[in-house]
Amino acid sequence: MKTIPLILMGCGGVGCHLLQHIVSCRSLHSSQGLCLNVLGVSDSKSLVVTEDSSNKGLDDKFLMELCRVKRDGGSLSKLGDLGDCRLFSHPELQERILELASQLGGKTGLVFVDCSASSNTVAVLKQVVDMGCCIVMANKKPLTSTMEDFEKLYAYPRRIRHESTVGAGLPVIASLNRIISSGDPVHRIIGSLSGTLGYVMSEVEDGKPLSQVVRAAKSLGYTEPDPREDLGGMDVARKALILARILGQRINMDTIQIESLYPKEMGPDVMSVEDFMNSGLPLLDKDIQERVEKAASNGNVLRYVCVIEGSRQSSLCEVGIQELPKNSPLGRLRGSDNVLEIYTRCYTSQPLVIQGAGAGNDTTAAGVLADIVDIQDLFP
């Protein structure tokens, strides 16, 4: 039986779904000669870790109780009977994580799984990768930090996986890496990488006002509590930056042209969420409707996409609304799916198209689990 010990950083929606997947897949993994050992789990304030990290991980019943506490809005410090576990808080938390990395990184191996939404994990990840540990990420922020941080994390490419940072469970990163490894130059990537904005743009295409569509999306749970976090395009820009850097472009976030669907005058520091939804958002209806009608008169549709072109020497990376042919893969997009078109020497007139659910805790967690299993050959 091959054992993969891991530490989970972040046990919110994605993290708890990952733990549930690990527990429910025990018999499947066992039949494959594989065992995933969860040695510790941390949230933003605490770390719970097994006392005997060399022999066993946290008990499955304990992991399910942990998920229940987190789903109820509690922190790890609210856990009751810890049994054979210990609880660490700041400032001991990071010290204990690095201690485990030092003990296991170069021996049996250790995987750090970042399912948080924090930029604070990058400091730990940079240290543990030097200790021989592997990294699996759903968190985009470490890879969209400085170019120096990105190169540090990618210093050992065999030990890093982050499929879920771009398209949840879709095989975007794996497909792109296979193309690059084959020597097939990538000329252009264009994609709708936000389920929220994909839904919004396909609905306004049907003649519905933007304000009505955004309200509906919010009530369906498609948007963040403040929809401007989606409408501003920053999440799409982070995904675009990751893809551009994989292609070899040495760029930072401030290099990317980002079109926000709302003006600065309606930003969070000026308007409350309630004011934006009730009085700000309706003011944007006319402009979007005119753009939709103009695109339709040309036989096209509007989609909110990222566009990445060029090479190391000359590059373009932008995020915003584009007018696209109605019969293209992106033009046919409906609902909250993600669609990515990759144009290369081999895929010139007919691009490689990747499409499917690109959001949701369950889908994202499944992608993370697949990444963990994918690095099993690095473990003794």
Which residues are identified as catalytic? 239
Query: Do you find a cis peptide bond into 325, omega within 30 degrees of 0?
Result: no
Is 233 marked as a binding-site residue?
no
| Residue 51 assigned as binding residue | no
Q: Going by C-beta distance under 8 Å and a sequence separation of 6 or more, which residues neighbour residue 78?
A: 69
DSSP state of 267: S
273 among annotated binding-site residues: no
140 labeled part of a ligand binding site = yes
Strand 300-310, strand 315-325: pairing? antiparallel
DSSP assignments along 41-64, one per residue: EE-SSEEEEES-TTT----HHHHH
224 annotated among ligand-binding-site residues = yes
- The answer to the question of whether 360 is labelled as a binding residue is no
* Helical residues (DSSP H) of 147-227, grouped into ranges: 147-153, 164-167, 172-181, 195-204, 210-219
List C-alpha distances in Å: 62 to 20, 37, 57, 110: 11, 13, 10, 21
Instruction: Confirm or deny that 14 is annotated as ligand binding.
Output: yes
Residues 6+ apart with CB under 8 A from 209: 282, 285, 289
| Residue positions forming the annotated binding site | 10-15, 140, 224
Known binding-site positions for L-homoserine: 224
Binding-site residues for NADP(+), please? 10-15
